[in-house]
Amino acid sequence: MALGLVLGVGPALAQDAVEPPPAAGTAEEPDAPEDAGSEDAGSEGAGSEGAGSEHAGSDDELDDAGAAPPAMPLDGRLRAATDVLVYSDDNAVRVVSPQLSVRYALDEDGGEISARAVVDVISAASVDVVTHATNGFDEVRYEAELAASKAFGDHTPSLAYRASREPDYVSHGVSVGLTSRLGTPDSVLALGWGGTFDRVGRSGTPRDAFEEHLQTHTASLAYTQTLSPRLLLRGAYNLVYQRGYMEKPYRYVPLFTEAQAAAAEASGGLDLDSFDAFRSNVRPPEEVPDTRVRHAAALRALAYFPDTRTSLRLDYRFYADDWDVRAHTLEPVVRSAIREHWELAGWLRAYRQSGASFWQRAYVVPDLGTLPHYRSVDRDLSPYTTLTFGLRTTWRNERWAVYLDAAVAQTWYDDFLYLDTLTALLAQAGVRITL
């Protein structure tokens, strides 16, 4: 799956980094713009920042979703939206991801029918590609989603189907959910299950020569409590079970004998410039466990200050899995109505994760006939820290809304042979019209 090989903190991080902050003027969850460029939920990842994707733990299935569906007044039943996400980093990855969506409200309690289409255009010639003995590439990924929900008194069931395709990866996903008001609109419980069923191929290789599969099942629970018109709290927990092929078919792991490792250390240590001179000629394919159990718990506080027309949101998220990855995410968001029709928001995200139990900066073996049972050069399984800062400006009236996001993400890798740091720039713009 060439797309997943190089994205790293690409669109997955981009998707979360530009997640719309809470609306100024209310403590309720905003009817937020959909994020363009989301990745296959559950197709990859460990424990990082939020939703959907190839980034370690930045999967959609680990988001702290589960608030009550936003109400849409029936005098504006139809809403159309378009978004464009642009991502670029100093590791030679470029992504452009346009999205088009439409929603039709069925009732005032969150019932709706929606459709969404996304195209990801990726260009990559990163150090990951070069060191994995894979040429740079250009690739296009297509995704479509259909969803429906309908309110029945205090209960709103929902159903969604998603499909995505790229040259070497096909994914289908279904999800069901139930959102219920517990006797009052101020107390909302949300339950959900989602499953994705992926087929993994290898570009240029017939399916009868190489084909693997991956299943991901997600159970979610969230509770939202509105304490006052100015304060909202939410807690959420997600459990994810994955089984199948979680390697990348293009990723190969360099090995070093003990003598080669000693020679490298005597010459100043291994790094991107020197590893090729000391590694052995044996480069086996990546091998990781065939199952993964992942847990994520999140807390959110959302407050509104009417005197300054400002809202403050604070999110904390803890992630853990049976690969021994542990992650913490802290994200404060401030949003303010600066003048009529205009809003300005800023946010900071701090993310820290530990490495997987089988992660090694360099795999050293006593002899070339002995292979590490599990081995990977996936930087998203290594320990690292990411800081993201973003700004959003929004103009809106009764029918139209236009927004522009800009964000920068800086990652520091503790123990990754090929990269010490990564700087990513992200921009997203969108337009909405309600009819």
Rounded CA separation 240/61 (Å): 7
Q: Quote the DSSP letter at residue 377.
A: -
Q: Is the pLDDT of residue 26 over 80?
A: no
Q: What is the pLDDT of residue 75?
A: 59
Which residue ranges form the domains of the chain, and what is each CATH number? 2-434 (2.40.160.40)
The helix (run of H) or strand (run of E) holding residue 3 is helix 2-7
pLDDT class for 127, splitting at 50, 70, 90? low
pLDDT class for 131, splitting at 50, 70, 90? low
What pLDDT, in 10s, does the model give residues 290-349?
999 999 999 999 999 999 999 999 999 999 999 999 999 999 999 999 999 999 999 999
Least confident of 20-34, 103-117, 120-134, 231-245: 20-34
Rounded CA separation 118/115 (Å): 10
Q: Is the pLDDT of residue 1 over 70?
A: no
Nearest-5° angle of CA 160, CA 181, CA 316? 75
- Identify the burial level of 126 via C-beta atoms within 10 angstroms of its C-beta, where 0-12 means exposed, 13-18 middle and 19 or more buried: buried
pLDDT class for 262, splitting at 50, 70, 90? confident
What pLDDT, in 10s, does the model give residues 332-391?
999 999 999 999 999 999 999 999 999 999 999 988 888 999 999 999 999 999 999 999
Q: What is the pLDDT of residue 31?
A: 35
CB 13 within 8 A of CB 214: no
CB 2 within 8 A of CB 141: no
* Whole-structure pTM value: 0.83
| Three-state secondary-structure class, residue 6 | helix
pLDDT class for 160, splitting at 50, 70, 90? very high
Q: Mean pLDDT for the chain?
A: 83
| Three-state secondary-structure class, residue 222 | strand
Token pair listed for 250: 């293009």
Best CA proximity match to 98, nearest among 387, 331, 427, 393? 427
